[in-house]
Amino acid sequence: MRSGNEVAIFVARHGRSEILVVHRSPAQGGYWHTIAGGIEPGEQPEEAAQRELLEETGLSISVLSAAGEAVQFAYSLDEDPPERQALYEPNVAEVKVDCYLVDAPDGWEPSLDWEHDGYRWVTAGEAPDALHWPDTAAALRRLLAPAS
C-alpha cells in the first residue's frame, strides 16, 4: 500500500536548457511524465528521490538539490478511478509530492527501467507542456523560474 507521500525528480542537462521527459509504459498509464515514485517507510523525501532516480534511470546523485530547489504540491485522490485509489492506504485522500530538479552530466543518457518505454530531451521552455499532469508541469515551471 502506498502512503500519501511521493517524489518527482526532474533531470536537466546542458545548463538546464534540456529536461528529460519519460514515457510511462502502457501498463503504467502510457503518458509522458518525469521520474517519480513513492516514499518508502523510514525514508526521507530526498532519500526516496535519490533511490527512484537510480532505479528508474541509472543516475546516481549524491547531492540532490541546492537550497531553495525543492517545491511541493498535493493532489486529491477523489477523482482517480477506484483501482488507482486502491493502491493507497485507506485513510489517504490527498497525496503530497516533493519535487526536485537535478543536473545530469551533459552527455548522460538514461537507462530506463520497466516502468518506462521511451524518453526524450526537450527544451526547458517546452518541458512543462510535454508533461501529462498539470500539477507536475506547474512544479517544473516553479523549479525553473529564476531566483528572485
Q: Is 20 helix (H, G, I), strand (E, B) or coil?
A: strand
Query: Which residue type, as a one-letter code, is found at position 70?
Result: A
Q: For the chain, how many residues are written? A: 148
pLDDT bin (cut points 50, 70, 90) of residue 138 is very high
pLDDT bin (cut points 50, 70, 90) of residue 64 is low
pLDDT in tens, 66-93: 545 679 999 998 877 788 788 888 888 8
| Residue ranges of domains in the chain, CATH in brackets | 5-144 (3.90.79.10)
Average pLDDT, the chain: 90
Q: Answer yes or no: are the C-beta atoms of 147 and 68 closer than 8 Å.
A: yes
pLDDT of residue 148: 55
Q: Taking the mean position of all CA atoms in its chain, how far away is CA 136?
A: 8
Q: How many CA atoms lie within 13 A of 22 on its CB side?
A: 24
H helix or E strand, kind and range, residue 56: helix 45-57
pTM of the model: 0.91
Write out the three cell numbers for 51.
533511490
pLDDT in tens, 9-44: 999 999 999 999 999 999 888 999 999 999 998 999
Quote the DSSP letter at residue 25. P
- Which among 48, 59, 68, 47 has a CA at the least distance from the CA of 22? 59
